[in-house]
Amino acid sequence: MSDWKQDGQEKHTEAQRRMLNAVCGDLAKQINWHGCRFDKDDWRHFLSGIAAGWRMVPGYDMGDGVRGMVMLGASSLRLTKSQAKDAITMGLSVGDAPDEQGLACKPVKWSPAVLMGLGFNPNDFEGEQ
């Protein structure tokens, strides 16, 4: 089993942190999310919020009587092993099949760090377009 595929309610592992960061970095460079360009941190917050569960709370009233609602996620630093695995899996899914999320972009060409995390030798992918 890959180091990042661990389950449990304990704090995520260093291998999971590295894999999530690598996946989010590749997504940031190659995926446009429905017209929005996310940076690596945006992707990490997005995937962590989904994995940990969003919470809706009333927004801040700026004095104009308009409060609205705000969605709060979770810090990737607080993910459990199971949540980190889910966040990584979702990121890989978006990258491998962006069309399944209604995105009009090519699948991600994964970096050597992600390929190694998936158990592949990055040299086996040299020269692929």
| Structural domain boundaries in the chain | 14-124
Distance of alpha carbon 48 from alpha carbon 42, whole angstroms: 10
Radius of gyration of the chain (CA): 17
Q: How far apart are CA 103 and CA 69, in angstroms?
A: 27
How far is it, in rounded angstroms, from Cα 20 to Cα 99?
A: 21
Which tens digits make up the pLDDT trace of 106-119? 999 999 999 999 99
pTM summary value:
0.89
Render pLDDT for 62-95 as a digit per residue (tens, 0 to 9).
899 888 898 888 889 999 999 999 999 999 999 9
CATH superfamily of 14-124: NinB (1.10.3790.10)
State residue 126's pLDDT score.
Answer: 77
Which residue, 2, 1, 4, 26, is CA-closest to 81? Answer: 4
